[in-house]
Amino acid sequence: MAPEALDLPQGTLDLLILKVLSLGPRHGWAISERLRQVSQASLAVPQGSLYPALHRLERRGWIAATWGASENNRRAKFYELTRAGRRQLDTEAEAWRRLAAAVASVLRMA
Amino acid sequence: MLATLLSEVRYRIRALFRRGALDRELDEELRFHLEQEAAELRRRGVPAPEAMRRARLALGGVEGIKEADRDGRGVATLDHLARDVRYAFRAMRRSPGFTLVTILTLALGIGANTAIFSVVNAVLLRPLPYPEADRLVTVSSVIGGTPNAGTAMALSYPDYEDIGKLTGTVAGVAAWSTDHYNFSNAAEPRELEAARTTAPLFPVLGVAPVIGRTFSAAEMQEPVAVISHDLWLTSFNGDSTALGRTITLDQRSFTIVGVMPAGFAFPDPGTDAWIPAGWAMNDAPEMAEVRAYRAFSTVARLAPGASLDGLRRALDLLGKRITASGEATSKFGAGESFTATLLRDQIVGDARQPLLILFGAVALVLLIACVNTANLLLARANAREREFAVRRAIGAGRPAIVRQLLVESLFLALGAALVGLLLASAGLRVIGAQLPHGYSAGIDGTVLGFTLLLAILTGLGFGIVPALRASDPALEQALRDGSSGTVGRPRRRARSILIVSEVALALVLLVSSALLVRSFVSLNAIDPGFDPAGLLAARIRLTPARYATIPQQHAFFADVVERLRTLPGVAAATVADGPPLSGGVISVAMHPREFRPDDPDQLLVVNETHVGPDFFSTMRIPIVEGRAITAEDRNGSKPVCVVDQALARELWPDQDPIGKTGLGRHGDETVVGVVANVRSEALERIGGPATYTPLAQSDRSIDEMWVMIRSDHPLRAIPALRTAVRSEDPGQPIASISTYDAIVQAQYASLRLITGLISLFAGLALVLAVIGIGGVTAYAVSRRTRELGIRIAMGARGRDLIGLLLGETVLLVALGLALGLGAAFGATRAIRSLLVGVTSTDLVTFAGAAAALGLVALLATLVPARRAARVDPVVALREE
């Protein structure tokens, strides 16, 4: 049995969305799919909280949204990373790495 | 950073104004998401309906997503506020009766406050129209040794020069005195008020002429003049060629060198010209040197960095130096000190107290209105218990409900403020006519700001308690218990507070009003000592150049009086130089040594009036003994005088005054008659002891005289009087004409205004209190219908029920009356100075007002109680 998917710690959803979008523009469902794929389903991203998060990021100007046609020719809202968003991604990713390293070293102590 | 900010603002604007579009976009996104998810599941082999179901499950509650999305848009608070406003609108529309009553009640309170504030703003708060007017002071002197010792007096010219030398504290000082002149440029000669001033007046005040210039110190004796804007417009058509032309004052020509801007009117609103100070002294040049001649007022500007206290200290030193020098400061002796006050305070002076009284009164009215409204809202909140409990059940927090109710209250208050502004502007039009010249009270920016602030405070004030009560979690419990009744004890407490507080507040106003009305009635009933009805008085100031000698002056008035006597409709005519209440009463100090040998230094201040023949009969002043002044008392015949009872009692307490000699300026007048006392200076008090001497025997040059005629229709006699004077001398203006009734009424004009206003407010308070008490009682009774029905069914009579219902109220009303009496004892001290004939703690008035209010309050509860007593028990029992 696959291990239970982990709940996202607070605040990291934004980081993940920015990272996914750094690889190219996507619509909301595609983002959710990608997250599921890449984390091999070990991250439980409640799909409902995705959209409020996307709009929040849009509000802050880190991602920009445009309506376009999806792969199967339906109207969908595509998001892409802005320049400010890219800078924010770098900042937050760095912070995350440092946090993770710090926690790891504490855990390693005998 | 800036980019983020920009993006936030743009998004929030979209969220505010395109809410619908954002919601629709989210809808579409979610729909797309579900379709994609279902399609993916179908691709993996899940059958179609199951795929959709699992997709929905995975997404979660759509409503929750939408709500979370909306919350994240950053405009939540504004959104909620907008929604609360919409609800408030709807709530108000749903109960129009309630809304109307509330708005009207509050509008009366807010409107009255706005009107009075507007007057306060115009009179007390508005700064003087001079730059840095807070630095302007006026200096007066206090002389020792005279009968008027202690009162502030005018300064002498040497005093003014000494003040000018205090360069550390004073940046500039000017001296001025005003006088009336006969102005004869225009077709119709008229009287004009001119200020004789030293050159620094204009720089000290900081106002420059709009054309031309002002005069300099070198021109103190020159016939030059600066005229007012009004005079420029009326006599010179606002023409710039007015410069260089002349105005003729008392037959002398003054060349116009400058025109002051519109609105400049110093020291009086009616000052139309400024001429050099030398013209105040040309009849008595020694005034420039002798400290005992006092004629000038001063205005000074504090030096930069100097304070009023610093000036006062410097003036103290100056006064001590003058006193030590022994120089005479008046004809009675030496010694002088100075007082300095801010110009602003001196101008406002008397008005402060009555205005603050009125302000206090309207505040009380507004308080009553607020208590009424708070109770109305409480009652309505009760009716909406269910609505609030349901809202709380679905998750609305207490703050959300409180906020909604406060928004409703603010709405009511703002609506009331709008209506109140209309009421106030109408009221101001009436009050405005009564304000002293030069002040206008209207609705300007400051007043609007005040009204808005008051509305907000009022709305919060009466709204907070009902809002807290309605959102009380205990309500939920009550709802669940199924009780439809009142939440017992708190309701009764609110009702009690209302009755007690409104009775107390209304009583304070009623007592004040009653005291003022009694004063007014007293004043009205005072016998002034003469008969003003039917009397017409005209003040005439002879042009000195045309009537230079005393015989000429006497001849003029004798001829005019003769002409007037022959007019149809005129029963009698006479002349006097200081008739009662004219403000022209001349006080003379005399040493009655001959009559009081044991007290030779004591001074007696006597009012001395020069009168023509028929004075007493025209004025209808009763002659108590002896005879009146007649035409036989001429220049050359025996000098005589008539005294009043007060003087007779003062000088000859146990003797007959007739035949006594020794009075008058030359000590040679014989008393030929005694008349009754007259209220010559003010209605409230009997004037000082008086003597009346024949005008024909006077050897003083005449300044101004009053001509009086008695007629059945005094107003209709005005044109005839003008014609008589004009035919005697066409170039002689009449300074003013008035019926004596108007003169007497002007004496208590301000008391009348205040009494009227406070009585109006007391009436308002009474009406509001009655409505409040009646409403609250009716509501309480309606809640007990069931209980009353049972009692009736069990045999209680109507009377018993009324007794039961009233019983509680009587106690509350009594408590309110007691509190009100206590408060009134303190509050009426504020109007003590206005009262005439009653003290501020007059027990009869207090008791009467309390009894009246108590009766009215009980009646207000009686009416709903009687209706309750006639309840049909069957109907009552059936009611839930």
Question: What is the percent of chain B with per-residue pLDDT over 90, rounded to a whole number?
Answer: 29
Chain B CB within 8 Å of residue A75 CB: yes
- CA dist B278 and B220 (Å) reads 5
- Tell me if residue B37 falls in helix, strand or coil: helix
Between B71 and B32, the higher pLDDT residue: B32
B55 vs A contacts (CB less than 8 Å): none
Q: Are B770 and B856 in contact (CB under 8 A)?
A: yes
The mean pLDDT value for B168-173 works out to 91
Nearest CB among A51, A61, A77 relative to B7 is that of A61
Q: How far is CA B234 from CA B112, B231, B407, B730, in A?
A: 38, 5, 55, 21
Between B741 and B351, the higher pLDDT residue: B741
The mean pLDDT value for B45-70 works out to 86
- The amino acid occupying position B852 is A
Which DSSP state fits B267?
S
Lowest mean pLDDT across B50-54, B331-335, B428-432, B706-710: B331-335
Q: Quick count: other Cβ atoms within 10 Å of Cβ B249?
A: 24
Nearest CB among B8, B32, B69 relative to A76 is that of B32
Helix axes B550-565, B717-728, angle to 10 degrees: 140
Q: Quick count: other Cβ atoms within 10 Å of Cβ B420?
A: 28
Lowest mean pLDDT across B785-799, B843-857, B865-879: B865-879
Q: What is the pTM of this model?
A: 0.74
Q: How far is CA A81 from CA A32, A78, B98, B99, B668, in A?
A: 16, 10, 56, 54, 115
The mean pLDDT value for B521-547 works out to 89
The sign one gets for the Cα dihedral B597, B598, B600, B606 is negative
A62 → chain B, closest CA residue: B4
- CA dist B780 and B785 (Å) reads 9
* Residue with tokens 């009125």, as numbered in its chain: B358
Which DSSP state fits A109?
-
Lowest mean pLDDT across B148-162, B307-321, B552-566, B723-737: B148-162
B148 pLDDT exceeds 80? no
Nearest CB among A30, A52, A84 relative to B72 is that of A52
B234 pLDDT exceeds 50? yes
Nearest CB among A51, A72, A75 relative to B26 is that of A51
Q: How far is CA B440 from CA B115, B123, B148, B423, B726, in A?
A: 12, 8, 35, 17, 36
Q: What is the pLDDT of residue A1?
A: 46
B209 pLDDT exceeds 90? yes
Which DSSP state fits B38?
H
Chain B CB within 8 Å of residue A77 CB: yes
Contact B28 A77 (CB under 8 A): yes
Q: What is the pLDDT of residue B438?
A: 58
Chain B CB within 8 Å of residue A68 CB: no
- CA dist A102 and B407 (Å) reads 51
Q: What is the pLDDT of residue B792?
A: 79
Q: Which helix (H) or strand (E) holds B139?
A: strand B136-143
- Tell me if residue B351 falls in helix, strand or coil: helix
Residue B420 — very low, low, confident or very high, per pLDDT cuts 50/70/90?
very high
Closest listed residue to residue B189, CA positions, set B714, B701, B546, B582: B546
Here the tokens at position B306 are 């100097």
Residues with Cβ within 8 Å of B32's Cβ and at least 6 positions away in sequence, in order, are: A27, A28, A29, A70, A74, A75, A76, A77
Strands A43-44 and B136-143: unpaired
pLDDT tens-digit map of B567-619: 888 999 999 998 888 877 777 777 666 666 666 666 777 888 999 999 999 99
pLDDT tens-digit map of B6-32: 888 888 888 888 888 888 989 999 999
Contact A29 B61 (CB under 8 A): no
Please give, rounded to a whole number of angstroms, the shortest distance from the CA of B52 to a CA of chain A: 15
Contact A48 B60 (CB under 8 A): yes
Q: What is the pLDDT of residue B491?
A: 66
Residue B405 — very low, low, confident or very high, per pLDDT cuts 50/70/90?
confident
3-state SS string for B769-827: HHHHHHHHHHHHHHHCHHHHHHHHHCCCCHHHHHHHHHHHHHHHHHHHHHHHHHHHHHH
Please give, rounded to a whole number of angstroms, the shortest distance from the CA of B50 to a CA of chain A: 18
Residue B485 — very low, low, confident or very high, per pLDDT cuts 50/70/90?
very low
